[in-house]
Structure 1
Amino acid sequence: MDLGLQGKRAIVTGATRGIGRAIASLLAAEGCDVAICARHKEAVDQTAAALARSGVKATGGAVDIADLAALRRWIGEAAETLGGLDIFVANVSALAQGMDEDSWRKGFEIDVMGTVFGIEAALPLLEKSSAGSIVVVGSTAMAEVYGPTRSYAAVKATLIPYVKGLARNLAAKNVRANVVSPGNVYFQGGVWNLVEQR
């Protein structure tokens, strides 16, 4: 497959497993230099090494997305290592499922604040690209209710109008912004794998 991404530079958050890793792997296979982050250094290092085997520049950082200062700093460092930035994929999620205060707070801090301020840090770099792209990984739960009411769906849904606003306001700067909402995805250690084990 040739998606015309050869030589592009991409950052993917939450990219050591599941959807995020699949995105980073596809970008690397298409010839993108890729920077990834997640919380656990060992998983980040292993994933970056696997991506580099595609013959691209791959780097990673252990970042807690809730630490916005650390996130901003890492995005700047990653883009410098890559020599610029063309694609920013906000994939990380707290996957907070409860209705308790802690679930709402975690979801808001990671899914909303991590996305918004990650994009804010990436935007000046994307505006220098000839074709900047912001991709926010959402969920079908943004539009459909599955089972009992959960904070996850409401928190994720807040990203839709935010990204629509970005798309309208950034088009003149040649930066696209989209939400992609995958359905259920099964992978080892993921939510559905855990449900299966119950």
Structure 2
Amino acid sequence: MDPAPHLPAGPRLAFTGRRVLIAGGSKGIGRAMALAFASAGARVSVCARGEAGLAALRADAGALGLAVHTASADLSQLDDIGRWLADAAQKLGGIDVLVNNATGYGMADDEAGWEASLNVDLMAAVRASRLALPWLQQSSDACILHLASIAAQQPRPGGAPYAAAKAALMHYTTSQALALAPQRIRVNAIAPGSIEFEDGLWARRREQDPELYRNTLAKIPFGRFGEPAAIANAALFLCSPLAAWITGHTLNVDGGQVLMG
């Protein structure tokens, strides 16, 4: 074996000409991923429920000289997912990358909590993946990326619906990767740790539940909460040619938080 194999030439994190769809991307991690992919040259479509968030994303992209296609969609509804995928594929000219980022944040152990987590965190990803498959099959470099959570890897006294749905999503990642490997469609997941951003969950908890905020911060070996850009950078890697031999993997991006139990 060549001890110094030749690496592919050129900007290996460039996405010029690739069509990237992000389900649930108007703020926080989704927003960071949309801007990162667009900055790398991708044609990007984002859906979310709130038009205000989508308008803000378009403005942020425009300020950077970028264009992002957006659509309002309720990802708990199969018809909405289908309409967004068809419209985005038509506008972008196909689909190369599907990122399932939506969450229902079903924390309460009641019917509403379980319904929100299962319908959005799990089934929206399953449905979008299935409906996007005809376009992904036409791509020469297709991949699917799911956003899971380190909450799926450690038991907690609260938030069972959210954690269970994310655990199911991680298992679905491996099963889906195996099923789609013969078609050369890669499937991976990212499990973020605690990520803080304006108007996000941890920004609200800093004000509303400072004790929980402090206790969580103390369990992050790096001594700080993560930022959405950390997840966006990992997403670029996993969807790039650098990760061409990676499938069925869940990558923890958490500053070592899961190591603390």
Name 1:59's counterpart in structure 2: 69
2:96 partner letter: D
| Alpha-carbon contact 2:108-2:158 (below 8 Å) kept | no
Instruction: Indicate the percent of aligned positions where both proteins have the same amino acid.
Output: 31
* Structure 2 segments unaligned to the other structure (5+ residues): 1-10, 209-261
> 1:36–1:48: 8 Å Cα contact kept in structure 2?
no
Question: Alpha carbons of 1:54 and 1:121: their partners in 2 closer, same or farther (altered >3 Å)?
Answer: farther
Aligned-residue offset at 1:54: 4.7
Q: Among residues 133, 136, 146, which one is paired with 1:123 in the alignment?
A: 133
**Residue 81 of structure 2 aligns with which residue?**
71
Determine the C-alpha separation between the residues in 1 that align with 2:180 and 2:62.
31
**Structure 1 residues 83, 49: closer, same or farther in 2, change over 3 A?**
farther
Residue 170 of structure 1, aligned match among 147, 165, 180: 180
Residue 149 (structure 1) shift: 5.2
**How many angstroms does 1:51 deviate by?**
2.7
TM-score by length of 1: 0.94
Structure 1 match to 2:8: none
CA distance in structure 1 between the partners assigned to 2:15 and 2:188 by the alignment:
17
Q: In structure 1, the residue corresponding to 2:117 is in which secondary structure?
A: helix
**Which residues of structure 1 form unaligned runs of 5+?**
none
TM-score, normalized by length of structure 2? 0.72
How many pairs does the alignment contain?
198
Q: Give the whole-Å Cα distance in 2 for the aligned partners of 1:145 and 1:7.
A: 42
1:22 alignment partner in structure 2 = 32
Superposition deviation, residue 4 in structure 1: 2.8
Which runs of 4 or more aligned residues in structure 1 lie more than 4 Å from their structure 2 counterparts after TM superposition?
Answer: 52-57
Paired residues for 1:171-186 under 5 Å: 171-186=181-196
Cα distance in 1 for residues equivalent to 2:63 and 2:184: 31
Give the aligned partner of residue 117 of structure 2: 107
**For 2:78 and 2:141, how far apart are their aligned partners in 1?**
26
